[in-house]
Amino acid sequence: MADHSLPVLRWADPPDGPMLVLLDQRRLPTAEVEVVCTDVPGLVAAIQSLAVRGAPLLGIAGAYGIALAAARGYDVGEAARSLTAARPTAVNLAYGVERAVAAHRATGGNGPAAAAAALAEARALHREDAVASERMAELGLALLGELLPGGGYRLLTHCNTGALVSGGHGTAFAVVRAAHRAGELRRLWVDETRPLLQGARLTAWEAAREEMSYAVLADAAAGSLFAAGEVDAVLIGADRIAADGSVANKVGSYPLAVLARHHDVPFVVVAPVSTVDPGAADAGAIPIEQRPGHEVTDIGPGVPVAPVGAQAYNPAFDVTPAGLVTAIVTERGVVSPVDGGNLAAVCSGSRSVGAGKGDGMMKA
């Protein structure tokens, strides 16, 4: 099969740069257009408007943002504060920013050498994420084989978790892709993911590029799929995972977890360890971004679907309790059963934990 890697984010050196060039995810699937960021305010705007999105990629973008500020002689501390605040739930953004800032400070915190160190750290994070994506795909596919002997998987996913959110092939979608390339994917069910349709616009676009068998469904139709026995497993990503294993992901994920538990269907989260926030003890410590109401009341710019003046509730994320999560797949191993102790053990690399049903062990 062809390699459909996407240039979702790239650094441009002089004479054209320094600048960060992003694939504008707001324009997909109808147009493949790039956005050029020459300063941190431009990158912050791109992050907040979802031109660039997805937890791992936000971490990479944040690190490059610090490199951009340093290369152009802007205040790195101020850049770090504005970037970190751009999307409060996605912990990877702060992680990437902090890594680049630490590299900048370690090399004097000023001048070309410090700027070069920040850029080198951003590039290192970019490479690491690609490697992590491949490892999660391997471990996730093995987990599916343990949970669902026989192959021919019918997988349901929510939001977008592919190459558009990663330095590699993604998180949950990377596992789906691995199953597809192994000849084990029977059907990918793609939640449309209201209100911004990241599933219908982005995941379906990626699935089509990979020549998968897929179908888009309205979020409210997922229950009928479960009731008909048409879902073998749910695979989602994460924007922040608390220390107890609670998972914040695109709003609509929690109802899928409840449906999956009721119908005895595995509910699997795929995310790098950089998404785990040991400083957030539980769900209550995860900040939930509230986005503008017009994203709900309008189906598109200037296209209202609600009466003028209608109020809207628009949380970007919801939180699934650890008890509803079958497993968390990270690049360091699979956490199952999901609890604080097992999560900490895998993230620290101190030991592997059970993966799937029974007493099977998945080596990290």
The DSSP bridge pattern shows strands 9-12 and 303-304 to be unpaired
Q: What are phi and psi of 102, to 5 degrees?
A: -60, -40
* Nearest residue to 347 (alpha-carbon basis) of 298, 281, 278, 295: 278
* Nearest residue to 84 (alpha-carbon basis) of 363, 289, 356: 289
Catalytic residue among 129, 191, 219, 239: 239
CB burial string 296-327: b at 16+ within 10 A, e below: bbbeeeeeeeeeeeeeeebebbbbbbbebbbb
- Asked if 141 and 85 count as a contact pair (C-beta separation under 8 A), the reply is no
User: Is 219 considered catalytic here?
Assistant: no
What distances in angstroms separate CA 58 from CA 9, 69, 89, 166, one per listed residue? 10, 16, 11, 8
Amino acid at 182: A
Tell me the C-alpha distance between 104 and 117, whole Å: 6
Helices (H) and strands (E) in the chain, counts: 12, 16
- Asked if 240 and 280 count as a contact pair (C-beta separation under 8 A), the reply is yes
Instruction: Just list the catalytic residues.
Output: 239
